[in-house]
A = this chain, B = another copy of it.
Amino acid sequence: MRKSRLFTPGPTPVPEEVLLELARPVGYHRSAEAKATLAEVVRGLQYVLQTEQPVYVLTCSGTGAMEAAVSSVVAPGEKVILCTAGRWGERWRGILKAHGAELIAVEAPYGQAVTSDQLADALTHHPDAVAVYTTLCETSTGVGHDIAAFARLTAASSALLVVDGISGIGAMECRMDAWGIDVLVTGSQKALMMPPGLAYVAVSPKAWRKIEATPVRNFYFDLRRYRKALAEGPDTPFTPANTLIRAQRLALERLRAEGMEQVWARHARLAQATRTAVQALGLELFAQRPSNALTVIRVPAGVDGTGLLKKLEQHFGYKLADGQDTLKGKIWRLSHMGYVDPFDVLGAIAALELTLHSQGLAVPLGAGVAAFQREYARAQAL
């Protein structure tokens, strides 16, 4: 017997009752029941994003919602500041370039975070920038950005703050209204405990004023259509993945029942215990300002990082994620966001220890597990 366990930073495990909900017969997406479900999902998302603004439900990958947050907001030739520290910052760059934005890139090396000082400089030098694009959690490196600090800077300027919160929302503290985020994007398949297929966009009044002044250049990702349909329905402008919406309602109910402060604290405990375990094994953390959504481990010199992950999966059923692009084989990414409890992560650490051990690396078996337990006991005051 060998079970499969998913520790990739998206998709993530889905609670059993949410999976079962997906198997219920399909309904008509314009019925009163479907509208009531959508309204509940929007309220749940407002709570998760900590906003009173409506949240728009798009049927697409996170990248689609990111494109909506570009094409609706920025006209070709307008200047934007891009704070990028990894592959998902680069995704913003790709979309912004496709839509003709003039880009001012503020960069951090992979593994580090863009600082608020860097952003402050950029805003000073480019007072004509209409928006700042960045990521809450840079899933490719495990770095979390100080979005609260970024938002203090943009709030004092005319620029909007547009945040990719796809893998961060639900795993890291993020308060859209209190902090002053203008456009916040997230997706179903990370800490929101769902399969991929839905993405969400919330928009501040400041961002709406910019959107209203920006010529429409597309259709499916025109946020005006989502605003109109939600206000009039509540509805979506196009046939949505309605079985996913129905299931998202259940996953959001779990988050509300637990409470966002508790959800964030739970992720913080899991992340801290995981980082402690990794270091107890003599391994190095890759992210200098780590997110609580995932832990990224630097592959030790001389180890075939990609090969080891394959063995971890083949022998023990634990699926972690490799690095992407230039980081392939150089880092291991272990997600602890969403529907994950301490014993899930303990098992992953034990399996990692066994795999390192089987490769002849000098790993004290149980050292990571024990460190995880000690840190968890301390944090929980057990």
Binding site for B on A (CB under 8 A): 4, 6, 8, 10-14, 19-20, 22-29, 31, 59-64, 67, 71, 94-95, 98-99, 187, 189, 195-197, 216-222, 238-244, 319, 321
* B-side contacts of A12, CB under 8 Å: 26
* B-side contacts of A20, CB under 8 Å: 23
A22 touches B22 (CB 8 A): yes
| A218 CB to nearest B CB, Å | 6
A220 touches B22 (CB 8 A): no
Cα A241 to Cα B240 with chains together (Å):
12
Cα A241 to Cα B59 with chains together (Å):
9
Given contact pairs A23-B23, A26-B195, A28-B319, a sample of 14 additional A-B residue pairs in the complex whose CB atoms are under 8 Å apart: A6-B26, A11-B27, A11-B28, A29-B196, A59-B61, A61-B238, A61-B239, A62-B239, A71-B218, A195-B243, A196-B242, A197-B241, A197-B244, A217-B217
| A194 CB to nearest B CB, Å | 8
Q: How many copies does the complex hold?
A: 2
A195 touches B8 (CB 8 A): no
Cα A241 to Cα B6 with chains together (Å):
16
A25 partner, pick from B6, B8, B62, B242, beta carbons under 8 A: B6
B64 touches A60 (CB 8 A): yes
| A105 CB to nearest B CB, Å | 18
A–B complex contacts, Cβ < 8 Å, 5 sampled: A6-B28, A59-B64, A60-B220, A64-B238, A197-B197
B28 touches A98 (CB 8 A): no
Main secondary structure of the interface of A (DSSP, over half): loop
A241 touches B239 (CB 8 A): no
Cα A151 to Cα B25 with chains together (Å):
38
**In the complex, what residue of chain B is closest to A194 when comparing beta carbons?**
B26
B220 touches A67 (CB 8 A): yes
Cα A220 to Cα B243 with chains together (Å):
23
Cα A216 to Cα B218 with chains together (Å):
13
A197 partner, pick from B19, B59, B319, beta carbons under 8 A: B59
* B-side contacts of A219, CB under 8 Å: 63, 67, 94-95, 98-99
| A200 CB to nearest B CB, Å | 14
**In the complex, what residue of chain B is closest to A190 when comparing beta carbons?**
B239
Known interface pairs A59-B196, A71-B218, A220-B61; A19-B25 also in contact (CB < 8 Å): yes
| A361 CB to nearest B CB, Å | 25
**In the complex, what residue of chain B is closest to A3 when comparing beta carbons?**
B25
* B-side contacts of A11, CB under 8 Å: 26-29, 239, 242
Cα A24 to Cα B309 with chains together (Å):
24
* B-side contacts of A238, CB under 8 Å: 60-64
Known interface pairs A14-B25, A14-B26; A218-B59 also in contact (CB < 8 Å): no
* B-side contacts of A319, CB under 8 Å: 28, 31
Cα A162 to Cα B274 with chains together (Å):
53
Cα A12 to Cα B61 with chains together (Å):
23
| A205 CB to nearest B CB, Å | 25
**In the complex, what residue of chain B is closest to A237 when comparing beta carbons?**
B63
A220 touches B63 (CB 8 A): yes
**In the complex, what residue of chain B is closest to A61 when comparing beta carbons?**
B238
**In the complex, what residue of chain B is closest to A236 when comparing beta carbons?**
B61
B239 touches A22 (CB 8 A): no
Cα A256 to Cα B232 with chains together (Å):
42
B26 touches A242 (CB 8 A): no
A59 partner, pick from B25, B59, B216, beta carbons under 8 A: B59
B29 touches A13 (CB 8 A): no
Known interface pairs A196-B240, A222-B98, A241-B197; A25-B13 also in contact (CB < 8 Å): yes
* B-side contacts of A216, CB under 8 Å: 98
Cα A10 to Cα B25 with chains together (Å):
13
